[in-house]
Amino acid sequence: MPWWIYTVHWEEETTPSNKSSRILTLVRSIFEHIQDHNSLIKRANESLALFYALLVII
C-alpha cells in the first residue's frame, strides 16, 4: 500500500477538530516519509560504493 493511504487512515483515527491541525499532521507525515526515503537512498548509495570498491580490489 502507498504511504499516503497510511497517512489518511492515521488521520481518520486521530480526527482533530480543526482543519489546520489535520493539514499539519498530513504535512508532517509526508516529510517523515521523505526523510525515510532519503535514508534508504543513502544506504543504497553506500552499498553501491562498497560493491564498486570490491570490484576495483578484485
Q: Quote the pTM value.
A: 0.39
Q: How far apart are CA 53 and CA 18, in angstroms?
A: 54
Collapsed DSSP state (helix, strand, coil) of residue 9? helix
What is the rounded radius of gyration, in angstroms, for the C-alpha atoms of the chain?
Answer: 18
* Distance (Å, whole) CA 41 – CA 49: 12
Lookup result for grid cell 560493491: 51
Mean pLDDT by 10-residue block, N- to C-terminus, for the chain (58 residues)? 50 57 78 77 80 76
What's the chain's length in residues?
58
Break the chain into its structural domains and give their ranges. 3-57
